[in-house]
Amino acid sequence: MKIKSKLLRAAQVCQAKDDWREYLCGIHIKGNHVESTDGHCCVRMAMDKHVEIERIVNIQGRVPAKAVSSIFEIGEVEAIVKHYDQFCQLIGVQVVDVIEGKYPDFDRVFPKDDKKTAINEIGINPDYIGRFSKMFTISKMCHAKVELFGINNAIKMMSLNAIINEEYGNPVFVVMPIRLKKD
């Protein structure tokens, strides 16, 4: 299975670290999407090709910055990912953990467009919003469209940059709300 390395790097930003829910510590590759979540924010990006077998994979270490394409080789005994640069030269190999489990249904997490409401305030962790620009570093101009769906519902962000949308498969980023305490 061949995937653009930039999608894997972006997914690693939202991937959980050392969570008891082991499946959140992986990147979910399903159909024509790459997605990840840590339970507080999540990202979904479209891939060029459809994959037949759904997998949750945890790449041991960071995807190399110079990697352009990554090819997964998942066998019965071992699983690895090979990273290639722009000249199709192998620049790294990493061990991959294939995680068994059921990944969260993103269609239930993403807010529906028909439920938009006008709100005056919403609680979010601003550190999570910063992940959007960390994932999509093609351009310094990383403007986003933000959709609010109510005081206790998720916030949906989508890029307004055509290059980012093309390179990262029209990414959709969602941040879960925090409960606002009334004084």
| Per-residue model confidence (pLDDT) at position 178 | 72
Domain ranges of the chain: 2-106, 108-175
| DSSP-derived 3-state class of residue 62 | coil
The span from the CA of 50 to the CA of 33, in Å, is 8
> Which of the listed CATH numbers 2.40.10, 3.30.70, 3.40.50, 3.10.150 matches domain 2-106?
3.10.150
CA dihedral 53, 61, 44, 123 (to 10 degrees): 140
How is residue 39 written in tokens? 């339970």
If residue 5 lies in a helix (H) or strand (E), which one and from where to where?
Answer: helix 5-14
Q: In the chain, what is the straight-line distance between the N-terminal and C-terminal CA atoms, in Å?
A: 52
| Per-residue model confidence (pLDDT) at position 88 | 93
| Per-residue model confidence (pLDDT) at position 19 | 86
Query: Residue 169 CB: number of other CB atoms within 10 A?
Result: 20
Q: What is the pLDDT along the chain (183 residues), one digit of tens a residue?
A: 899 999 999 999 999 998 888 999 999 999 999 999 998 889 999 998 898 889 999 999 999 999 999 999 998 889 999 999 999 999 999 999 999 988 888 777 655 655 555 555 666 777 787 788 788 766 566 678 888 777 677 788 888 888 888 889 999 888 887 766 665
